[in-house]
Structure 1
């Protein structure tokens, strides 16, 4: 596994008209629900339609829920409702695979901000045995000619909000799973997939492993 690279490289790619319109629609939806004032909407739309790269588009919706999503609860109230929130996060805040593979699973406390980057390689983040430092976790997942898979427990609110350019960026959760409960931790996945795939899915929690590096939340390549 390689430990060097720029996790945000994909954000410097040029945005298309369809990308700009997608962001504009999300901004209008937010204004329709009272999350943006008309002045804020006008200002952000101006930036959206003039944006040249994904890096310019991404901040415009960073503080907004996905269209149709349930708005987040205050962090203090939500944390009190969920046993999955709390603890000291791991010091390593990234997973990188360059012409290789990187897997992270087991018991670890996920920091509020985490980066995953794959170039001609694959990253797997299995969070089903993990807990979260904060109620909302943002995973910035960028892939170029590679793949990133993110698995979260079924009781977590997963929001996959990145861009796919000649690739896929999707939530592949089975329709048979029940919606997450009120106050559930939120995992928000953002970034860019270029000739690549970034997939998030909610799945039933695994049985805890008693032995091996994975049970300690270590990286394996």
Structure 2
């Protein structure tokens, strides 16, 4: 076997300085609980290591806690959490670039408001106008008439908010006079096949905001995931409390019988 064919296991190992997630800490806690149940750790060692696991901030702090246990595994590598991930609920980008005409060519708000959101098709050019009013253009669940679409916004003493989904390339070319065009934060390169959204126009005593957000369904999924993780941590703390109480009870019984 040549040197090139030798697998490099170090490549898959977590970098010690990377931040650990709640799921990583829970995996280590599970190994420690198994070690306690099998008699490999006494209660004092278990409590010390469990406390250190929940306080750990990096993979380097987690790794030593299970290194001497036969069931020990290195904490899993970090799961990428990125705003550049394609929206799972809408399928691939190819399925969202549908061609044809858009389902709405523009929106007007004069002392009022307009919004385009949900399932709709963004045309090759969309015009939004707000005068002492506001508009919302939400592209998170939208389809696109072409690989590149232009959203032209004019805001006079009003505002327009454009919400783009993760993974979409955004170019802002608007001009503001006593107003402004907000640029979304850069969350890495666009997803392969994702559309390009060019936002231009004019803002006078008003503004055009551009932001990246996941869909409401994804927000709910992440919220539920965090709730479940909190419940698991609470159960782990309760289990530790019960174990400590039983240990103290057993110690009192031994003392009472003169052991």
TM-score tier by shorter-chain length is: 0.5 to 0.7
Q: Which of 203, 207, 210 is the matching residue for 2:217?
A: 207
Q: Is 1:99 aligned to 2:99, yes or no? A: no
Q: In 2 relative to 1, CA 91–106 (structure 1 residues): closer, same or farther, beyond 3 Å? A: closer
Larger Rg: 2
Q: Is the 8 A contact 1:140 1:190 kept in 2?
A: yes
Could you say which residue in structure 1 is the equivalent of 2:121?
A: 109
Could you say which residue in structure 2 is the equivalent of 1:166?
A: 178
Could you say which residue in structure 1 is the equivalent of 2:190?
A: 180
Once the two structures are superposed, residues 89-121 of structure 1 have per-residue CA deviations (whole angstroms, 9 ceiling, x without a partner) of 344301110011111110011111110000000
Query: How many residue pairs end up in the alignment?
Result: 127
1:67-78 correspondence to structure 2 within 5 Å: none
Q: In 2 relative to 1, CA 146–86 (structure 1 residues): closer, same or farther, beyond 3 Å? A: same
Once the two structures are superposed, residues 138-184 of structure 1 have per-residue CA deviations (whole angstroms, 9 ceiling, x without a partner) of 011110000000001112111111001110112133x5x34312332
Once the two structures are superposed, residues 65-104 of structure 1 have per-residue CA deviations (whole angstroms, 9 ceiling, x without a partner) of xxxxxxxxxxxxxxx9733211443443011100111111
Aligned-partner Cα distance in 2 for 1:135–1:190 = 17
Aligned-partner Cα distance in 1 for 2:105–2:178 = 28
**TM superposition shift of 1:202:** 1.9
Q: Is 1:154 aligned to 2:166, yes or no? A: yes
- Structure 1 vs Structure 2 CA RMSD: 2.0
Could you say which residue in structure 2 is the equivalent of 1:84?
A: 96
- Secondary structure of the 1:82 match is helix
Q: Is the 8 A contact 1:161 1:189 kept in 2?
A: yes
Higher relative contact order (CA 8 A, sep 6+): 1
Could you say which residue in structure 1 is the equivalent of 2:52?
A: none
- Secondary structure of the 1:191 match is strand
- Secondary structure of the 1:114 match is strand
Flag the structure with higher strand content: 1
Aligned-partner Cα distance in 1 for 2:161–2:103 = 21
Aligned-partner Cα distance in 2 for 1:148–1:160 = 13
Instruction: Give the unaligned 5+ runs of structure 1.
Output: 1-79, 209-221
Once the two structures are superposed, residues 20-61 of structure 1 have per-residue CA deviations (whole angstroms, 9 ceiling, x without a partner) of xxxxxxxxxxxxxxxxxxxxxxxxxxxxxxxxxxxxxxxxxx
- Secondary structure of the 1:128 match is coil
| TM value normalised by structure 2 | 0.46
Instruction: Give the unaligned 5+ runs of structure 2.
Output: 1-91, 219-259
Could you say which residue in structure 2 is the equivalent of 1:73?
A: none
Could you say which residue in structure 2 is the equivalent of 1:212?
A: none
Aligned-partner Cα distance in 2 for 1:199–1:152 = 11
Runs of 4+ with deviation above 6 angstroms: none
Could you say which residue in structure 1 is the equivalent of 2:202?
A: 192
Q: Is the 8 A contact 1:94 1:114 kept in 2?
A: yes
